[in-house]
Chains A and B, each alone.
Chain A
């Protein structure tokens, strides 16, 4: 795959921002309170460097919760993946953010995080549809809690076949009293990158 140019990075950032905006709106509607989701930082990381990139944020042996969604096109082919990591030590803040109470129930939190994965991936798909004029359908999310490296590695073989780059969004999920940093990884394959390049060609 070609390296990602400045323009492409801009589009990807924009995708992240639009997606996050949509997601925050849907989330606020669902919960009935205002939730903000901002994406202050976007990085492009090559797959072989993903460990180092994550280690700025997390320790390799940290336990995290991960939600994994694959994005399919109309022919039901996988064209990209979204992967969201929640640091385990944020489970209290996430509970109060998403469930509005302080009773920590692992089962409820898990289901809330999966729903968040659903919302985020659908919002991302909508943003892609708007911006790139292509239709993407998210699959039902997979969920696991484990070492951060183990989670990454379990999807790495598949990703490595299709793409060299991971777009890493460092996002903040917050309401008036809590703030949680989450990592959203977007892994587009060649098909999505092609759409982005098409857009670039139209602009230039």
Chain B
């Protein structure tokens, strides 16, 4: 998957592949490419400037294995990783993006996975007492998401070229 890191004007860019999580401090950009029904959760410690991104494929897993493909595993693991870096739980806020339904006219139930992902992520964050400060979810278009850890801003670039900052 995408493990490539690139330097852009001295700022490291980390690509977070499907089912992966990544944490970085101070600056650096965390990138999730080609989000369709997948959803990404960006957690940010506003005081210590520590950011983490999870690229989540599915809502819930009943398995015990801590597979970050699933929202219910990815989010707690991400918080843990951030705490290891020095983040404080009470400083952490969340931004979420993704969960589109790319195939519009399909009756197949599974293609509504985007909606389920959004619902699951909201539920889990609520349970963990983490506030969602901004979101850009749903719709029918794919997204590339860039999370700038230096200021906590999230750039959502749609497949039609449109840009949204949240």
Contacts and interface: CB of A to CB of B under 8 A. Distances in A.
A156 B38 CA distance: 10
Majority-rule SS of A interface residues: helix
Interface in B23-55: 33-38
Given A60-B2, A157-B58, A157-B113, A144 B33 contact: no
Contacts of B1: 48, 51-52
Contacts of B101: 154
B103 A70 contact: no
Contacts of B140: 144
A61 B144 contact: yes
Contact of B142 (A51, A139, A147, A158): A147
B151 interface: no
Interface stretch (B6-14, B81-89, B104-112, B124-132): B104-112
B5 interface: no
Contacts of A145: 159
Question: Which of A145, A147, A148, A153 is most buried by chain B, counting CB atoms within 10 A of its CB?
Answer: A153
Interface residues of B, number: 30
B113 A149 contact: no
B31 to A, nearest CB: 10
A142 B142 contact: no
B103 A148 contact: no
A84 interface: no
A157 B159 contact: no
Contacts of B34: 60-61, 147-150, 152-153
Interface residues of A, number: 27
Majority-rule SS of B interface residues: loop
A153 B100 CA distance: 11
Nearest to B111: A154
Contacts of B35: 149-150, 153
B103 A144 contact: yes
B57 interface: yes
A149 B36 contact: yes
Contacts of A139: 108
A151 B102 contact: yes
Given A52-B1, A61-B34, A146-B159, A157 B104 contact: no
Contact of B103 (A63, A143, A149): A143
A68 interface: yes
Interface of B: 1-2, 17-18, 33-38, 57-58, 100-106, 108, 110-111, 113-114, 140-144, 159
22 contacts: A51-B1, A51-B2, A139-B108, A142-B108, A142-B111, A143-B103, A143-B105, A144-B102, A146-B102, A146-B142, A147-B144, A147-B159, A153-B18, A154-B37, A154-B100, A154-B101, A154-B111, A155-B111, A156-B18, A157-B58, A158-B108, A158-B110
Query: Top 6 nearest A-B pairs by Cβ distance?
Result: A149-B34, A150-B142, A150-B36, A154-B36, A146-B142, A147-B142
